[in-house]
Each structure stands twice: as C-alpha cells, then as structure tokens.
Structure 1
Amino acid sequence: RLITEVALDQEAGQLGLAMSDETVQRLLASEKVFQGADGKFDAMRFKQIANDAGFSERGFLADQKNAYLRKTLTDIVVAGVEPPKLMVEAIHRFRNESRTIEYFVLPPSLVGAAATPSDEELKKYFDEREQTFRAKEYRKLTTLVVSPSAIGKPDSVSAEEARKLYDEVKSKRYGTPEKRDVRQIVLKSDSEAEAALAKLKAGADFDALAAELKLNPKDINLGLVEQRDFGDAAVGAAVFALSAPGLTEPVHTAFGTVVSQVKSITPAVYNKTFEQAEPELRAEIAAQRATPEVRKLHELIEDQRASGKPLAEAAKAAGLETQVFEAVDDAGNDRSGKPIASLPSGPDLVKAAFASDIGVDNDTVATRDGGYVWYEVEGIEPARQKTFEEVKEAVADAMRSEAAQKALAAKADEVVAKLNAGQSIEEVAKELGLQVQRANDVKREARPDFNTNVIVQFFDVAPRNAGSVVVDNGRLVFFVRDSKTPVFDPNSIESKTIAQQLKPALNNDLLEQYVGGLEKALGVDINQRALQAATGAERDR
C-alpha cells in the first residue's frame, strides 16, 4: 500500500497536479466522518480524529491533500470505463442457458456384489490407506442450557394467544395473503364521490370517468395490492370487505373521498393451517415470556460458578439438570459417525470445547434465541491410529464399495457410448429395465433434485450428447436433449445489473495494471533484508 501511494504521488507530481488548501478544507468539511450530529463540520471532532491518527492539524491536511490528489488521478484512469458488451453477454449466457436433461440412474445392484477380498488384499489396502482408518479425538462434555426455548412452557400458552400470533404472521411465514386488483379515484367532496359512484353503477367506464375528471392513469391504477398496502386503513377495509369484484361505497379520508373498484381477487394461499403451526407458535410465545427468567438464571448460575462449584452442582442449585455427552468429535458426531442432534449450539459449542481443556472454567456459548450454554470438558480421548484387526470389516466394506463403483463406472461408460453412437435413451433404459426421467429448464443454479456437481456435469457435455456422474444411489446416466439461451438484450435490467456488478472488478484490474506500470517505470525494488529487519522477521529466525 505504501509503495502504491508513493508511486501515485510521484506520478501526480510529474503531471503537475495540485490542489489548494481551500479546496482541501472544503472537501474535508463535506466528509461525514468530520461532521457532528447536526450534519455540519465539527472542528473539535476533526482535531480529535487527526490527533488519534498521530497527526498535527497541518500534517493531517497535507496527508489528505495527497490522498485527494491520488484519488483524482485514479478516477481519471478509470473514468468512462464500462464492461465490454461481449463480457456481459458471456455472463448472461452462463446464467441463463437452460437445458433439457433426460436421465436414469444405474443402481449398484446392476453390476452385482463384488467378490470378497482375501486377508492379504485387505491388509494391503489398509497399509496403503491407513490414515483413512484413524480414530478421531473424542471429548466427554457436560453441558447446561438456559435459553428461552429450553425453559419456556408451551403448555401454558392458550389457543387464543397462538391464534392471534398466527393471524399476525401467517402472511409472511406461511404463504401469500389475499390480493386484489384495485383502481380508485379521489374526489374533493362526498357529493362528487356519490355522483361518480352513481355513474359507475349506471355502467360508465372507470377509465373514461377518470379521463373526464382529468386524473392521471398512474394514480388510479393500484395494481395487485394487499390490505396492508393502503395508506388509509378505512379504504383498505372497504376494498377487502367486498365478497366479489365490484365497487366500494365512498370513503372519506384526509385527502378527499375515495371510490374504489375491485377488478379481480387473488385468494390467499397458505401452506400451514393454524393447527399445523400451533405447536411452534406456542413454543415461540413461551420463549418470549421466558426471557426475563433466563437472565435471572444466568446470574444465579454465574454466582455459583464464581464460588467454585462444578457445573452439575451449580445447575442443581438453580433447579436445573446438566446433560452429559460421552463422546463428541470435532464435527459434532458420536462414535458411530452420526451427528448428535441434541448437542446444544452445535458447531459453536464443538469449536469452543475443542479449544478448551479438562478443568478449564469456560465462557458460555450463546444460543440463537439469546440463551446460554455452559460446558465442561470432562475427558479427552486422543486421536489414534486404529489397528488392522479393529477396522478389518470397515476395510472390507470400503474395498467392496470401491470395486462396485469402478464396475458401475465401466457400465456407465458402456451405456454412454451407446447413446453417443445414436441409440435412443429410451431404448437403452428399456434394455436395462430402468425408467427414463426428464428435467426441464436446468440452469447453472441450485436445484432440489440435483446437487452442484451433477449440474456442472450437465453443462460439461455438449447438447445431443451423453455423460454420467456419481450420485448417492448409484451412477446417473444423462442425455442433453437441448440447450436454450434467451436473446441477449444489452439494455435490459438484467444486463445493466451484470455490467454494474462487473464494473468494480474491472476498475480494480485496470488500476492494478496502471500502478504496476508506474512502479516498473520508477524502478521499484524491495530490499527484502531491510523489510525483514523492519518487521522483526529477521530477529525471529
């Protein structure tokens, strides 16, 4: 950074760039960091910041003058730079290309069970991969959780309270609220509104009446709106009181009298009924009520710990119980390699526990709902190399699995060759007794039916060609039926957004090249010994 600044200072000097003290003072006064609560330049704040940075007032002004000159120079370098159309189009194609994929999965059963390896083969396999069969380090943990969700009592929450919360949050959490396509006109008086309503009821066209009243079409057409979108609650209530599309009675507001027309109604769609959501809503309300109790228990337990009591005794004094986990590895799994679902605060607790030791008084780990987890490391079982006899069965399983994968890969290669030779995927699947499936509109983005690696493989194969990839239940063989890319429009919102996202990176690349050129022209050379001496690296040797 220092070399870059010096290089730019040298270039600014050679170009004769300069800036008056008055200009520097004006620019500094406009910096928000030097402004007070009233938005005006605060001289005392300026002096304090300068002093904290180790500058006198004059020295700070000189430093900032150089900074402004450097910025002027770099702004000139990148001024007017726009991402090339070809680059934007390439990203547009990458993001929007979609493919139709036909596929089926070759199950492991298709290649039969692998032969049972001999003891000599097992031993050789183990010797070549013994690091794979190491026992991980395990820690025995005692934990105590005090959090709103842990001590809350959902049974104490009434159904009426849960129903009230459901009505408040259902639109945001559980689906889409009812929407109505609404148009409205605002008249100066109630009498004008009554006359307008009479015309509409008699068959007058809403748009024609709005034009007659010289109203802007943009002001009358609200589009699809929810009840909460209305600035005046009375207008919203009148609009959503209609049981079918039609006209509302005039509603008097602070801005005039409103007549609304509901053109269509889009019903609400919810993916959870109250009965389905009731248990979690009761738990949420109970947790909110338990928050004050959490604070009290935290103070009580901390007092007990400060007096030197073990965690189990501190918990007992607070009327609580600890939980013991006999063996936890650094990934939060038990000895069988399965995740421990009941482990409080999950990864955060594991990270803290493996950074601690036996007998250490640890800080609490926070829970997501604002609670606390106390923990003690009761024992440590070090990682170790397992013997061949311990893992013999696991080695045999690994060998059989590897052999099956190789056989399945060979079978997939054979199938792919048939597809690329022109045989239809339906024919090949029928020969194997498998069912072809189709995935439409597959893009380079996450999907619930395919993981990222599978999607990458879909796009590594040319259209009208086949390929295969490993999946959890075997090997997926696929055929790229077609590939489509929307027409590139450089003036679309998406294209402009892509260009805007590219611009900072493009500017940085250009500035790096420019500064690199300056340093080369100036003959910049770093004395490594001097640098090591300055940073203390030489003394550390």
Structure 2
Amino acid sequence: MLRGMRKAGQSLVGKIIATILFGVLILSFAIWGIGDIFRASAPTTVAQVGDTEITIDQVRNAYNNELQRLGRQFRTVITPQQARAFGLDQQVLSTLVTEAVMAERARELGLSVSDQLVARSIMENPAFRGADGQFNRALFDQALRNASLSEAGFVQEQRLAMARIHLAEAIAGELTVPLAAREALHRYANERRTASYFVLTPQMAGEIPAPTEEQLQSFYNERKSAYQAPEYRAVSLMAVDAASLAKPESVSDADARQRYEQQKARYGTPERRTIQQITFSSPEEAEAAFNRIKEGATFDAIAAERNIAPQDLELGTFTRAEMVDPAVADAAFALEQGATSGPVAGRFGPVLVRVTQVQPEAVRPFEEVAGEVRAEIAQERARNEIDDLHDSIEDMRASARPLAEIAQEKGLTVVQVPAVDAQGLDKAGNPVDIPEREAVVRAAFASDIGVDNEALRRSGGGYVWYDVTGIEPAREKTLDEVRDQVATQWREDQIAQRLAEQARQLTERLQKGETIEAVAQEINAPVKAAADLTRNAPKDDLTAEAVGRIFSIPVGQAGNAANGADTRAVFRVTGATVPPFVTTTQEAQNIENQLRNGMSDDLLNQYIAQVRQELGVTINQQALRLATGGEI
C-alpha cells in the first residue's frame, strides 16, 4: 500500500490530490489542535477528595513505609505480590482518603491549630527526646531525614493531623454509655450456666452400608473443589555456606594448637576461687592487721574485732575474669588455698584477702578437641571466601551456564526437588529438606521456568542459587485418585446426618416434657451434669461449640449441637446465674471503656462515610497501580 501511495504521488493528478489531503489535515489540526499529542503523560493524582488531591508520591511514600513496617514486624521481606494479596494498597489508600475527608471538613468548619500548640506537640513527642528527657534537635532532624520530610512539611502534617484529631474528638469524644448497655455486656461476659446432657456417638448411628458407585460419584461431584491437588514446582538449588566450603584437613597442626592456646578457656572450666576480704579505712590499719596475722592472729579474729559478721566476709566464688576489682583479683589468684594476702590497694579502699577454696581449672586436652578447633578455623577461612565465590558463580550464571555444570566445576552439590507446593511440602505431605526452605519456596513460586534468579542470602551467611525447572499446575483430583478418601468422608457424612436427625427427634421429646433421664436411657447414653459453664469455653467433654449453643437457649429449654468431629450433644439448660453489676468496680470501668471506644469508632466511621459521600471521592486505579508498583 505504501509503495502504491508513493507511485500515485508521482503523477500530476496524484500531486493535486495529495495537496488537497494535506490541506484538509492542516485545517483539522487548526480546529482540534495538536496539543494532546505532546501533552500525553502519566496521571499524577490517585484520588480526589473534595478539593484535596492525593498524589502518587503521597501514596507511594505511605505504601513503602507500611511495607517496611510489616517487614520489620514479621522479620521478612514483603513482596509486591504478598502486599497485593493482603490488600495493602487499598488499606493505605483508604487511610489517606479518610485523612483527606477529615481535613476537608475541618477546613470547611474553619478549624485551625496555633503555631504554639504545634510546636509544643513536637517538643513533647517522646520520639524526639534524648537520654535527658529533653527535646533533642539532632533526633528530630534525623527522623525528618529518614521520612524524607522537610521541617516545614512535617510541621504542616502535624497541624493537619491535630486538626483532624480535634474534629474527631468533638464528634465522638467522651460519650455517655447507657447503664443498660453496660449491664448487658456484664451479663454476656459473666453469665454462668448449668445443663444436663448426653452424647450421641458414631456407634449410635447404626450400621452404615458401603456406598454405591453412584453415591460416591455424586458425593465427589458436589465437593470437587475439596479434592484439589496444589500447584507443584520442580526446583534445582545449590547452597553455599562456610560449613560446606570448610576444609578442616587443610588446617595445620601448628595453627590449631595456636588457636587452642589462645582460647583454652572455651574448652573447659576455668579456675574458680572462693574469696573473703576485710576492708580498712587506711593502708596503715591494713598493714597493722596483716602484721598481727603474721604474728599468729587469725583472719577471723581480725574480722571479729572489727564487728564483721562471718557472712559479710564472703565476696563469693569467681573466676579471675568475673572479678570487678583487678587488684583484688591479682592478689586472690596468687594465693594458696587458706592463705591471706598482704594489704591490697583495692578500688574501694585497702583490703586483706583470703582464699578459702580453690576449684582447679578443668580443660580438655588438645588431642580431644583438635577436630573442633580445625573445623572452626576452616569455617572462618571459608567465610572470607564466600563473597569471592559468589561473584565467580554469578559470572558463570551470566554466561547461561546451568547449575549442574557450575556445581561440578566448583566442587559443590546440586539438590533436585522434583515437586514442592507453596507450603514447602512434597506430594506425600512432608516438608522438603532444603536449606532456607521458606525463602526458597516463596522465591520459587514468585519466579518461572527459565528465569535468571538472584541468589538468596542464607540466614547464617552464604547463598542459595535456584532454578525453577518444572511447573505442575493445580488441578482437581479424579475420583479414582481419592476414592478411599471420598468413601471415608461419605461414611462420616452419613453418620453425621443420622446423628443430627436422631438428636432432633430426641430434642423434640424433651421439649414435649419427657425427662432427659428417660430419653437417654432408651439409647443407653449416660446423663451428665455440666456446672459453671462459661460462654464459648469448652468444659469436660463438651466442646466450645456445644457450650455456645447452651448459652443461646432459654433456661428450661432443650437443644442439641455438634460436639466435635463425630459426636452430638443433646441437652437441657437447667440454670443461669449472673453476679450483680456494681458500677464502682474496675471491671465495670473496663466494660464502660470498651463500650465507649466501640461506640466512638462506630459514630466516627458513620460520620466519615457521610462526609465522604457529600464531598465526593474519585479514585484513579491506574495511578494507584503506578504508586504501588502494580501492573498497568
């Protein structure tokens, strides 16, 4: 077509026609303009709330801050896919919209916050206070840098936040909680019930015949989604850490012995001594006392003269490293057991020291720990080699060399995982045994076949390289694959249906006035009494579900409920008690606070919803995806 247009343009008629066409084009540009061709650009506003715009940068900053907070909380990196699965983008936007709604209404009402009030709130913020409890300018500046905010921007944010808070307090501040509401919550929390009951067991359902093929097929068809095989991925991985690279046999005997001597205390128990001391007010007093000991006086006699009780003489039993005073330590560890030192210039005054017991050091000989020492040295050396090895392997990966080939050249091992699901389980339901299992599985399911993946760092140092080599999509299992499982569940379902119907009939008899003892005797079920039941809490052989059902029925009435996986309880409520509600107790205050907070939240949410409707909120989903790194 292009060639035909060129040929036509070479003739006289063609040139005339072309001139006319170009004239029409020029006229159309003059009428409609050509600015849109050059002005086309990505959106900058994510949401419009009244006159307030929420920009892409605002959403991006809030979103990234929340990602980092969650990462610190869960001690892991939150991927964009996980964040979207959590609905984090919508949560962040909802928060920003709510803040904008409140700010708009505060502006309309003419609410403002003085400079003095804003300054005081910043000065009193604990995050900006130093060790002395006073405002610290350096901490304030550092917080602004971390948040990528200017001082003026932060002050403006504080002003708007305080205006929003004042508006919220005016709407839903100190609400009065009705006494009836407090009493109702007190009753709900503190009511206690008693009931008589008996339990229907699977044996009471009678004989369940084997299912027919049609019954099995129908049961399976109704529950196909329950028999889902998860997606499995085949993964090849190669792990490197100090232990795998270490070569203890390369560590010489001399190096091992040197390390042993340097860290001998690690291979046994160091010497410990039980030490006593007498403190004197002057060196002269200490010297005089020591001379008396040399002449025959005892250490204990000197202590008694100075009114020092025997228990106050004891410093304790220490290693040399554990002692606070180096001078006393040197003196004590130079004495024989039972000997007394001369005057020592201790940290807290002149002292005489006596050693009452010596526990000798017990260190394992070098020959016994040589293997440990060599392994430790070898791993230290290997740690220094890991980064160089990482760079070398990355260069080989960049050349599209497969992991198996790299492993063979570097003397490493490749682990083949034929199938693993997103929970890290193999097809038998067992956890796969691989390094950094959670991180590797999470990364593998975020990757694809043929993707050049970044190496994962190991928690103890080192790296894991991985490739996704196969993907087995999730699918519904066929009846033949799960026949035994379906047959078992069909039988359980039949038992549950029979017990439910039996329980219904027995409950009707109780409601018509028959005693629970008479009804239970017919099916040889023992009647039990349950006392002091609390709402939704299991008791004896009653599950929380059954107890919850007991609390839903008036006193004197009968009912039944599932009681665990395969039994059913039939009961009559025999009593209910509630302690009196005393408004002056701490419990009553807690109930009032709980209700006030709930009522305040409900009132504020309703107010925000109404104002949001009045102001009008528009959201640009494309801009939201741009702000949160989603696909356009």
The one-letter amino acid paired with 2:102 is: T
- 2: CA distance, partners of 1:347 / 1:445: 35
Check whether the contact 2:440–2:456 (CA below 8 A) recurs between aligned residues. Answer: no
Please, what is the CA RMSD of the aligned residues? 4.9
- 2: CA distance, partners of 1:482 / 1:353: 58
Q: Classify 1:339/1:36 alpha carbon distance in 2 versus 1 (closer, same or farther; 3 Å).
A: same
Q: State the shift of 1:342 in Å.
A: 8.9
Q: State the shift of 1:5 in Å.
A: 0.6
Aligned pair partner of 2:528 in 408, 432, 437: 437
Question: Are 1:466 and 2:564 counterparts?
Answer: no
Q: Which residue number corresponds to residue 83 of structure 1? A: 177
Aligned pair partner of 1:511 in 590, 601, 604: 604
Q: Which residue number corresponds to residue 5 of structure 1? A: 103
Matches within 5 A, 1:294-443: 299=383, 329-330=421-422, 335=427, 354-355=445-446, 363=456, 381-443=472-534
Q: Which residue number corresponds to residue 361 of structure 2? A: none
Q: Which residue number corresponds to residue 545 of structure 2? A: 453
Q: State the shift of 1:145 in Å.
A: 13
Secondary structure in 2 matching 1:512: helix
Check whether the contact 2:492–2:566 (CA below 8 A) recurs between aligned residues. Answer: no
- 2: CA distance, partners of 1:381 / 1:537: 32
Q: Which residue number corresponds to residue 336 of structure 2? A: none
- Structure 2 unaligned blocks of 5 or more: 1-98, 242-268, 270-375, 394-402
Q: Which residue number corresponds to residue 501 of structure 1? A: 594
Q: State the shift of 1:410 in Å.
A: 1.0
Secondary structure in 2 matching 1:389: coil
Aligned pair partner of 1:490 in 573, 583, 604: 583
Matches within 5 A, 1:142-157: none
Aligned pair partner of 2:199 in 94, 105, 115: 105
Identity %: 31
- 2: CA distance, partners of 1:343 / 1:479: 55
Secondary structure in 1 matching 2:561: strand
Q: Classify 1:102/1:375 alpha carbon distance in 2 versus 1 (closer, same or farther; 3 Å).
A: farther
The one-letter amino acid paired with 1:29 is: M
Q: State the shift of 1:77 in Å.
A: 3.6
1:382-420 superposed Cα distances (whole Å, 9 cap, x missing partner): 433333333334333333332222122111111111222
Q: Which residue number corresponds to residue 262 of structure 1? A: none
Q: Classify 1:386/1:82 alpha carbon distance in 2 versus 1 (closer, same or farther; 3 Å).
A: same
Q: State the shift of 1:37 in Å.
A: 4.0
1:112-168 superposed Cα distances (whole Å, 9 cap, x missing partner): 23233332333333334333333334467899999xxxxxxxxxxxxxx9xxxxxxx
Q: TM-score, normalised by structure 2?
A: 0.49
Q: Which residue number corresponds to residue 214 of structure 2? A: 120
1:429-465 superposed Cα distances (whole Å, 9 cap, x missing partner): 2211122233321112443754433332222222222
Check whether the contact 2:194–2:532 (CA below 8 A) recurs between aligned residues. Answer: yes
- 2: CA distance, partners of 1:391 / 1:472: 21
- Structure 1 unaligned blocks of 5 or more: 147-160, 162-291
Matches within 5 A, 1:40-59: 40-43=134-137, 46=140, 57=151
Q: Classify 1:47/1:402 alpha carbon distance in 2 versus 1 (closer, same or farther; 3 Å).
A: closer
1:179-216 superposed Cα distances (whole Å, 9 cap, x missing partner): xxxxxxxxxxxxxxxxxxxxxxxxxxxxxxxxxxxxxx
Q: Which residue number corresponds to residue 526 of structure 1? A: 617
Q: Classify 1:77/1:111 alpha carbon distance in 2 versus 1 (closer, same or farther; 3 Å).
A: closer
- 2: CA distance, partners of 1:24 / 1:64: 7
Q: State the shift of 1:496 in Å.
A: 0.9
Q: Classify 1:78/1:404 alpha carbon distance in 2 versus 1 (closer, same or farther; 3 Å).
A: closer
Check whether the contact 1:356–1:362 (CA below 8 A) recurs between aligned residues. Answer: no
- 1: CA distance, partners of 2:581 / 2:502: 41
- 2: CA distance, partners of 1:114 / 1:70: 66
The one-letter amino acid paired with 2:595 is: L
Q: Classify 1:93/1:374 alpha carbon distance in 2 versus 1 (closer, same or farther; 3 Å).
A: farther
Check whether the contact 1:7–1:519 (CA below 8 A) recurs between aligned residues. Answer: no
Secondary structure in 2 matching 1:409: helix
Matches within 5 A, 1:160-309: 299=383
Q: Classify 1:46/1:399 alpha carbon distance in 2 versus 1 (closer, same or farther; 3 Å).
A: closer
The one-letter amino acid paired with 2:545 is: N
Secondary structure in 2 matching 1:461: coil
- 2: CA distance, partners of 1:418 / 1:297: 81
- 2: CA distance, partners of 1:349 / 1:36: 42
- 1: CA distance, partners of 2:588 / 2:571: 32
1:191-242 superposed Cα distances (whole Å, 9 cap, x missing partner): xxxxxxxxxxxxxxxxxxxxxxxxxxxxxxxxxxxxxxxxxxxxxxxxxxxx
Q: Classify 1:490/1:372 alpha carbon distance in 2 versus 1 (closer, same or farther; 3 Å).
A: farther
Q: Which residue number corresponds to residue 76 of structure 2? A: none
Which has more radius of gyration?
2
- 2: CA distance, partners of 1:379 / 1:519: 50
Is 327-336 or 458-467 further displaced after alignment? 327-336
- 1: CA distance, partners of 2:227 / 2:608: 52
The one-letter amino acid paired with 1:394 is: Q
Q: State the shift of 1:95 in Å.
A: 1.3
The one-letter amino acid paired with 1:415 is: L
- 2: CA distance, partners of 1:300 / 1:105: 67
- 2: CA distance, partners of 1:519 / 1:436: 59
Check whether the contact 1:100–1:441 (CA below 8 A) recurs between aligned residues. Answer: yes
The one-letter amino acid paired with 2:506 is: V
- 2: CA distance, partners of 1:104 / 1:341: 45
